[in-house]
Structure 1
Amino acid sequence: MGKRRMKMRKSKLVVLGLIAALALTGCGSKAKEEPKTSPDTDATATAIPSGTFTGEGEGKGGKIKVELTLENGEIKKIDVLENNETQGFADAMQTITDAMIGTNSFDVDSVSGATLTSTGFKTAVENAFEKTGASKDQLVAKEAAGTSNKEEREAAYTADVVIVGAGGAGLTAAIEAANNGASVILLEKMPMEGGNTLISGGEYAAPGNWLQKEEGIEDSKDQFYEDILKGGDYENDPELVRVLADHALESAEWLKDEVNVTFEDYMLFFGGHSVKRSLVPKDASGVELISKLTKKAGEVGVITHLNTTAKELVVENDKVVAVKAEFDGKEITYSANKGVILATGGFGSNLEMRVKYNPEMNEKILSTNSVGSTGDGITMAENVGAELVDMQYIQTYPTCDPELGTLLYVGDVRMEGRSILVNKEGKRFVEELERRDVISRAVVAQTGGVSYMFWDEASMVASGVNVKHQREYDYLIEKGILIKADTIEEAAAFFDIDAEELKKTVEKYNEYAKNGKDEEFNKRGTLTAFTGGPYYIMKSKPAIHHTMGGIKINTDANVINTDGNIIKGLFAAGEVTGDIHGTNRLGSDAIADITVFGRIAGRNAAKAE
């Protein structure tokens, strides 16, 4: 679950700004909005009318509507009347509200990691103020009275276990460490918990799970083990893969039964897997995971310090004993009686690091990652002698927003096995349930480096992606990235796809479905024929999604140094680690990974001496 829509949004905001300006000045045809309370112009120095005014902006999740209350030239209150922002990112609006009221100014910083939400909210507030007819310059700024960032912090803290990174792996490790009797402090540089897990679909690969049993799907730990190894071209560490495969199901049950994560009553068939085994959290969103993990962490006594950037690991007597971090420009030392866990995620948003290890992953390739995925933990671990492995293996997700690089969850119709991928020429070019890296390379080789996902109304109804991901669906339609049309010809014409070839492709695929075998690409799973319109076509392209490389760990989640020995007091879990997925991670294996190894790291750190 942020990242990347700024260029498009800026242009939109400029247009909105021009429209607003014309509405205020053009021909005098439109009067300014009347405040809900009577204007009080009692000779105030600013001549800004008091009252309440409404305004709108465009956030990451769509329209943000606010109500601004002004009194005697001061910002008194800002209420959010309407928004569809993701939990966590929505907290940015309160942070900005506190800053605006505290400084009596709209010129406050956006919240790092929630840029689109921040921009949309600030635009909405300024849009409301425009309706006063006054100028922002008339607001008399005050000395900053403090924002939510300015909480008091001591110069030093001590806990049994200190964890860096409050994404899925960090929260899981924190809960397990606390459950094993340790006091825990969790550090997060972003203003909210979640990391990449928050903005993911949250799907979880679990062999032998309860839904498979209901559907009569045969699966096993050994089969999952082989799928992971094969998916990573056998470049994985077999011992780590064995642990992941053996404990994936029990950790999924832990999420369900102990953390109270709600899973939907259906599964997805991710590319590269041999069977359908991927559980889907409520609303097909990582928000369900992070909200429940965060709640559980609080219940078991985990202390979380947000906006706190870890800078350095402290080593004494060959053991990691503390983390030096920075909060609001102040250095703070977090001492760990038992152990430090790194759960800082990958480096998909660190262009310099990406190019260092894989020159092909340059600035031309967009990213699905959180802006916080900058490899901090990898760098800190390397500085104390940790071995790094598989750093060159960087995965792209094949079907992302061609303008922003964000994941397109409407595209989950592909994992339902109810769509095909075609090129500009209207032809299929790859198996739709292949590995992500294979599909991505195939897409890049097509005209324009993009693919077009095709499906019909029956597939839409069966998958329900337009309902599960309605905000994204509406956005894609609005931006012309997705077209809904009555005929194949009309849909194809929208993207200038060869309609006749596309019709032939559909007919051929329907024949394969009738016979039960894909003669061209041997597509796995059940083949479902397309029936009638409306028809849908979605344009997409690959974007950086997961970095397989990172810190070398053993099966107990201990960090290993370049001499092959354990670094005492240091553990790691999640995307910050390497050697689990090899050259390529299969879809939905990440959530299993962070949960399995997060639990192991938490338990072992709590028991460390």
Structure 2
Amino acid sequence: MTKTFNRRDFLKGGLVLGGAAEAAGLAGCAPTTKGDKQQAQLATTGAAGGIPENWDYEADVIVVGCGAAGMAALNEARAQDLTVIGIEQANMIGGNAAICGGEMCCVGTPLQKAQGIDDSPEKLYEDMCALGADVNEEMMKLYSELTTELYDWVTGFGVEVEEEVHGTNGHTTPRGHFVLPGPGEALGVMRDAAEAAGAEIHLQTALTSLIQDPATKRVIGVVAEDSHGDQLLYKANRGVIMASGGYAQNNDLINEYVTGVGAENFKRQGRDTDNGTGIIACMNIGVASRHMSYCSFSCILNADGDATTGSAMYHCGGILVNQEGERFVDESNGYTNVWTSVVDQTDQIAYCIWDQAIADANNGQGGEYYDHSKAEASGLLLKGDTIEELAAAIGCPAEVLQATMDQYNGDVEATGVDSVFGRDNFVTGTGDLVPLNHAPYYAWKTCIAIGSSRGGLKKDISCQAVDMSGNIVPGLFLAGVISGTSEMGIVPGTRQSKSASGTGFGGALCFGRYCAQQIASIMEPWDQAAA
């Protein structure tokens, strides 16, 4: 990277603009006012007072974004007997969810019971509230309850789920359920189900703004642009569900809120459509933000690979060493947290090391980041028949790496606890440590990457957006990363957010469905004639 940051930059509030930018709004991106934006785009439609006289498309529900939250919303809208259209700026459905780890956090499932796992919404709620400061406890309680229905609902479409339930980052109880063969395929199954039920999906259709009833401020539709640059007007008789994702791919917003400078130098885990268009459109009509200066950084991607090459085998018992061959962190903190130590290492690089025993135990199974065979198939996995050979592949002193391995293995064999950093489990309290002494040995070169934005928009318990005065914006519902991850914890005085595995993908599915249920329950049809 041409511009790097240190621990002080990231963790001590040293990043410029972060907090100030949230207080002042999108200064650098200069959002237009609602009136300017809407009148400019509706000027040629014959609209009176900002309401179009003619619409190109009409449905009870308009869903913006067709990733996990969008697919859930489309299916549930039809289950509630609502007509629904989904618009998606990409030329395919799925969004970031299609290339994520595919983990759903589910509670009380048949798979958990078969493995003797005692779990409950109350236990999940306790874990969510323990993630950090300023957790939205009311929303976490709702989320914990929604997870009890997720497994049965998703598998009801024909989506397959791995039989083994995994203990993963942020959870004290194993509740990680991985869709098979991956999230892209699972969302494809849900797309087919939605279309078979009568939902419409319009690809290469990008949101540009929202349309409100001037008198009531109710959101009644959206303005979009198709692949030819033509404007399209979508009328929502009952409500709009914003499931358009976050802003992790928008360098201007990352610099504005998080890093100050240098956002373009970070690797990204997501698709380029995760560009904040939905957030900007909502803020243009006065929707308030929450935790906007927080972003998810992780250590999964290979430093020499792309956004599709990720591995976190230290969740399965591997260790992390730096370029010098030394451990530097308690790996059980998980891939969303160890970056705070990786940032201080040479070139901000780390190597995850595991042995053949761990490879055999995690071969052809597990999630996207916990499968040895997937790391091997990438062509980026380093290998050595001895520790000396592995050190040569890494480029670190062999005697240092050998000493590191000897210290770790000795501790684990003697007491089951690492004496250097106090590690006593694989990740977040699950898994008993094992010595790494079965040749051959493997290493995955990993770096810090931006996974997703953690900040988002405020909503109430019905998932309707909330404005700067604390009032709901009627008819505008929020699901997925555009809002959901902002409800979780933060580390005060830093830019570090706290989250748990499976809450992104699984949470998007939960709240996409919930938004459609809420629209069916509380939103009466909008009467244009009375407007």
Aligned partner of 2:157 among 259, 265, 283: 259
> Where do 1:122-161 residues align within 5 Å?
156-161=56-61
TM superposition shift of 1:155: 6.2
TM superposition shift of 1:465: 5.1
Aligned partner of 1:449 among 332, 348, 354: 348
Corresponding residue for residue 84 of structure 2:
184
More displaced, 329-338 or 201-210?
201-210
**Aligned pair in 2 of structure 1 residues 336, 155: CA closer, same or farther (>3 Å)?**
closer
**Aligned pair in 2 of structure 1 residues 335, 298: CA closer, same or farther (>3 Å)?**
same
1:589 counterpart SS class: coil
Q: Find the aligned partners of 1:161 and 1:267 in 2 and give their Cα distance.
A: 35
For the Cα contact (< 8 Å) 2:465–2:476, is it kept in 1? yes
For the Cα contact (< 8 Å) 1:368–1:407, is it kept in 2? yes
TM-score w.r.t. length of structure 2: 0.80
1:266 counterpart SS class: coil
| Alignment-mate amino acid for residue 188 of structure 1 | E
1:338 counterpart SS class: strand
1:489 counterpart SS class: helix
> Where do 1:443-592 residues align within 5 Å?
443-464=342-363, 472-473=374-375, 476-477=378-379, 481-514=380-413, 515-519=415-419, 520-524=421-425, 525-578=431-484, 579-582=486-489, 583-592=497-506
**Aligned pair in 2 of structure 1 residues 220, 429: CA closer, same or farther (>3 Å)?**
farther
For the Cα contact (< 8 Å) 1:272–1:433, is it kept in 2? no
Q: Find the aligned partners of 2:118 and 2:81 in 1 and give their Cα distance.
A: 39
Structure 1 unaligned spans of 5+: 1-153
**Aligned pair in 2 of structure 1 residues 366, 197: CA closer, same or farther (>3 Å)?**
same
> Where do 1:135-284 residues align within 5 Å?
156-231=56-131, 233-256=132-155, 258-283=156-181
Q: How many residues align?
A: 448
Q: Find the aligned partners of 2:463 and 2:471 in 1 and give their Cα distance.
A: 13
1:323 counterpart SS class: strand
For the Cα contact (< 8 Å) 2:210–2:282, is it kept in 1? yes
Alignment pair present for 1:604 and 2:502: no
**Aligned pair in 2 of structure 1 residues 204, 532: CA closer, same or farther (>3 Å)?**
same
Deviations 1:320-354 (A, max 9, x none): 11111111211111001100110000110000011
Aligned partner of 2:293 among 392, 395, 404: 392
TM superposition shift of 1:447: 1.6
For the Cα contact (< 8 Å) 2:105–2:502, is it kept in 1? yes
Q: Find the aligned partners of 2:309 and 2:159 in 1 and give their Cα distance.
A: 23
| Alignment-mate amino acid for residue 433 of structure 1 | S
TM superposition shift of 1:251: 1.4
Q: What CA RMSD, in Å, does the superposition of the two structures yield over aligned residues? A: 2.1
Deviations 1:274-304 (A, max 9, x none): 2322111113x21232112111111221100
> Where do 1:378-417 residues align within 5 Å?
378-406=279-307, 408-409=309-310, 411-415=311-315, 417=316
Q: Find the aligned partners of 2:293 and 2:63 in 1 and give their Cα distance.
A: 26
Q: Compare CA radii of gyration and give the structure with the larger one.
A: 1
Shift >6 Å, 4+ stretches: 466-471
Structure 2 unaligned spans of 5+: 1-53, 426-430, 490-496, 525-531
TM superposition shift of 1:312: 0.9
1:421 counterpart SS class: strand
Q: Find the aligned partners of 2:422 and 2:329 in 1 and give their Cα distance.
A: 6
1:526 counterpart SS class: coil
Corresponding residue for residue 191 of structure 2:
294
Alignment pair present for 1:310 and 2:207: yes
Deviations 1:196-238 (A, max 9, x none): 011112111223333332222333322222222322x122211
| Alignment-mate amino acid for residue 209 of structure 1 | T
| Alignment-mate amino acid for residue 473 of structure 1 | A
1:280 counterpart SS class: strand
For the Cα contact (< 8 Å) 1:573–1:594, is it kept in 2? yes
TM superposition shift of 1:523: 3.4
Q: Find the aligned partners of 1:246 and 1:435 in 2 and give their Cα distance.
A: 25
TM superposition shift of 1:545: 0.3
| Alignment-mate amino acid for residue 277 of structure 1 | R
Corresponding residue for residue 4 of structure 1:
none
| Alignment-mate amino acid for residue 276 of structure 2 | G
TM superposition shift of 1:384: 1.3
Q: Which has the higher contact order (CA 8 A, sep 6+)?
A: 2
TM superposition shift of 1:510: 2.4
Q: Find the aligned partners of 2:281 and 2:60 in 1 and give their Cα distance.
A: 20
